[in-house]
Amino acid sequence: MKAPELYFVDGAVPESPAPTDTPEPWTETRVVGKSVPRVDAYERVSGTAVYPSDVVLPDMLYAAVLRCPHASARVKKVDGAAAERMPGVRAVITGASKAADVNWYYGRIVFTKLFDPTCRFEGEAVAAVAAETPQQAWDAVRAITVEYEVLPFVVDERKAMGSGAPAVHEGGNRVGEPEKYQRGDVVKGFAEADKILEVSYRTAAEIHTPMELHGWVARWDGQRLTLWESTQGVYPVQQRVATVLEMPLANVRVIGSYMGGGFGSKLQADKYNIIAAVLAKLTARPVKLFLTREETFLCVGNRPPSNMRLKAGVKKDGTLTALELTVVGTGGAYPAGGTSLVDWLVRDLYTCPNVRTEITDVYINGGPSRPMRAPGHPQGAWALEQMMDALAEALGMDPVEFRLKNIPTVSQAREGQPPYTTTGLRQCLMEGAKAFGWQEARRRPKREGPVKRGVGIASALWVAGGGGPPSTVIVKLFPDGSANLHMGASDIGTGTKTVMAMVVSEELGVPLERIQIENADTGTTEYATASGGSKTVPTESPAVRAAALAVRHQLFELAAEELKVPASELRIEGDAVVSTKDSKVTKKISELQALRRRGLLIGVGTRGPNPEGKVVNPFVAQFCEVEVDTRTGQVRVLRFLSANDSGRVMNRLTYENQVIGGVTMGIGLALTEQRVFDRQTGKVVNRNWHDYKIPTAMDVPAEIVSLPIDVPDPEANTTGAKGLGEPVTIPTAAAVANAVYDAVGVRVTDSPISPMRLVALLAARGTRG
């Protein structure tokens, strides 16, 4: 099949280096950087893609889990006799079952049991059932009787350290010693400041709630366990399951070629994985266990709440002199990094010689947190970026001008303050402001009447986003010119498979439709770390390029013999190998006799190290315009622009997809999303999509502009790409909050900016319409 023109334009692939050489950075590209539909788009939209939740095996059973209905309780007795007698039930396991006598651990610090008698949050697993149908499994779960000793609870991290607060664990509710950071002399810095502001901020807990539910299918074949898992990383799941079940890694195979979203909540294995494996072993039949939507709100992670008090000092010329941040947060009932990275932007985003931060992580009787798209950073941005706007106002400076005054060139928070490979924050701010029409929008009147308009800005960087080893990829070229790409990385909905196929096509000239991809299977594909943290493209694409270049090197060696020209004088053009000196000296790849005799060319690529002594970080600046009805407190985001320095744009279409998705999630943090506990019972009261308000198409602007600051970063890696998925959501909520302030003159420091909260603030200020 002839390749579409979209993928092949005039120009030749550069000369092939030896596989051990570091390839030259791309200049003009033929495939990479174009707007290319996903290679698996038809499978995804037609329903032919098989997600783990679609897997149905012969003789398969269905499992369901009985979960503790209390925020804090002790299990005194479990009786599953009635459940065992119910139609279709094949197994019931409880904490007393020998098969379920399995150790579990949280963060390698707190060890519990698979069914621990002490339940520290609503949703802790108490028992499980396997039955012929899902309905029979749930009927049996409801038939299990449990005697609980209901215990006192605390679900508000602000009260967890108070005198008389119930202890979640023996020894108290503080997870460990506060995490402290300091550089310079903060006292001196504040003494030098002309303006000092100090404000408290809070972000509410968010739930990941991806479209595909959490779960897997488990099947035993003798001592070997095969698992079809909705996961962001098949190898981390394999390692955790093998460790918990005390099995050799070689005997655990995890398959996850498709998955329907995770946002960080599917980076690790969970108790439900082990429960399904135990039930499958007991019954000698495959077992499918997928959680309900309500369960996912309780026990598979959240973006934890953060309480932040930020003090900032600045000189009249806009130079920051000191920043001081204290944070109290929670990872829930177990150590889960609930306060991780909340202070990173304060440490590193803006040039400031004197910085001090202190973070305290506490236990509450809530579900354990997990990383959620840019862990800690949106919370930190909510505080820092609102403070930056407040400082700019106090100085009478434009918010963009103030930020430009304090742009760093080195990573101040890291030891030795190493420089960034590229720092695109200045371009993000300047080009973003120009494209958005920032100055014109700022000059426009706020409108007469009760409906006001305002504009806002916020910036960010992401602490990671540069990727790094390890990663191994295999590329195979067949005699007919088609290719196979083998990689262990999961495509979590971001278009990873498409981007990697584009890299193969760029180097080998193979049309995308002739590249077959195998991914995310510990039994057949190479090792890869989990897909998350905006590291997948900058980690995997250099390995893919290395593998493709290794194939190309072999191809040119074979073609050189038949064409009687040096291999160094060959290039790929379309489906042929062509001499760089004489275009008439050419041969189609499919006609190379040596390749036909060889049968297959195989290239193995690995990810090299990141540059020594330098830091690879992506940067972003976002601009938005909102409309606020002062009578109702309703906020409507009218338009949004995200200017991103994420290195080379690998695929313009999936790049825009990431920007739109990240902005949408950020709007959720700003306006609608929060986990709500019942203060009297400790139970989550909005554990469904009706009561937990994720943004819909009606809640986000029709105009979300993606503005790439397309500056390839050749020092970062051999494809010049940096991460994108995390940075695009970090400053969004703060930009919305700043726009609301610009519209109505009221600073909302607690998320979300709900109509009820904003109306109360407007009424207190006497500015309600």
Contacts of 353 (CB under 8 A, 6+ apart): 183, 184, 189, 321
Q: How many CB atoms lie within 10 A of CB 719?
A: 29
Question: ∠472-477-478 over CA atoms, to 5°?
Answer: 140
Query: Which residue matches tokens 């490979």?
Result: 421
Return contacts of 104-113, CB within 8 angstroms, 24+ apart.
104/244, 104/271, 104/274, 106/334, 106/335, 106/336, 106/368, 107/334, 107/335, 107/336, 107/337, 109/335, 110/169, 110/334, 110/335
Return contacts of 219-222, CB within 8 angstroms, 24+ apart.
219/57, 219/280, 219/286, 219/287, 220/277, 220/280, 220/281, 220/284
Q: Is 693 exposed, middle or buried (0-12, 13-18, 19+ CB in 10 A)?
A: middle
Distance CA 29, CA 661 (A): 27
Nearest CA to 497 among 714, 258, 286? 258
Buried b (16+ CB within 10 A) or exposed e, 358-371: bbbbbbbbbbbbbb
Distance CA 477, CA 45 (A): 29
In this structure, are residues 67 and 295 in contact, taking their beta carbons and an 8 Å threshold? yes
Give me the DSSP letters along 234-281: HHHHHHHHHHHHT--GGGEEEE-S-----TTTTSS--HHHHHHHHHHH
Distance CA 401, CA 183 (A): 25
Kindly state the tokens that stand for 622: 């976002």
Contacts of 94 (CB under 8 A, 6+ apart): 78, 80, 100, 115, 126, 127, 144
DSSP state of 434: H
Q: How many CB atoms lie within 10 A of CB 505?
A: 25
Distance CA 51, CA 216 (A): 10
Alpha carbon dihedral 387, 393, 395, 400, in 10-degree steps, equals: 80
Nearest CA to 306 among 276, 280, 285, 331? 331
Q: Quick check: is 726 catalytic?
A: yes
Catalytic residues: 726
